[in-house]
């Protein structure tokens, strides 16, 4: 695994992949409500936030009005790398696509409204290609 730190190198190597399934951002005062189904957990002052698969969120009675799709950026970006999530969120915002970025140890993940997932993926692939071409011209 090669860890990438430069902004353009991270974008040029991001290789976005649209994951199967839909997910819902949920909140509860304690972890027990989520069971073992959360793909992400974060503790906030107001309680726990979790990202659950849509089918489990429905069964557990959470608000499922905003189903999201997960786009994983395959690049191994450095935890101290600067600019990847800003570039991704900015490109999607410019197209009017909401984006919730989640950074984990190995990869960054963009959660976008399910109805816009294919368009979001295409935009990120185009961003990657544009930066790769510009970087190779330097």
What is the pTM assigned to this prediction? Answer: 0.94
Tally Cβ neighbours within 10 Å of residue 116.
18
Give the model confidence (pLDDT) of 29-86 as tens digits.
999 999 888 999 999 999 999 999 999 999 999 999 999 999 999 999 888 888 899 9
pLDDT, the chain, mean: 94
Instruction: Report the Cα 56 to chain-centroid distance in Å.
Output: 19
Question: Which among 3, 11, 9 has a CA at the least distance from the CA of 85?
Answer: 11
For the chain, the domains span 1-22+67-138, 24-64
Q: What class, spelled out in words, does domain 1-22+67-138 have in CATH? A: alpha beta
């Amino acid at each position: 695994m090669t860890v990438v730190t430069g902004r353009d190198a991270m974008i040029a190597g991001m290789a976005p992949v649209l994951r199967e399934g839909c997910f819902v951002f949920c909140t509860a005062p304690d972890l027990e409500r989520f069971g073992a189904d959360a793909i992400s957990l974060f503790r906030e002052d107001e309680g726990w936030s979790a990202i659950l698969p849509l089918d489990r969120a429905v069964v557990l009675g959470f608000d499922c009005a905003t189903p999201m799709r997960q786009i994983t950026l395959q690049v191994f970006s450095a935890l101290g790398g600067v600019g990847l999530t800003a570039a991704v969120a900015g490109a999607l915002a410019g197209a009017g696509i909401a984006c919730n970025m989640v950074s984990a140890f190995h990869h960054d993940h963009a959660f976008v409204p399910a109805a816009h997932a294919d368009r979001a993926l295409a935009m990120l692939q185009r961003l990657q290609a544009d930066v790769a071409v510009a970087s190779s011209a330097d």
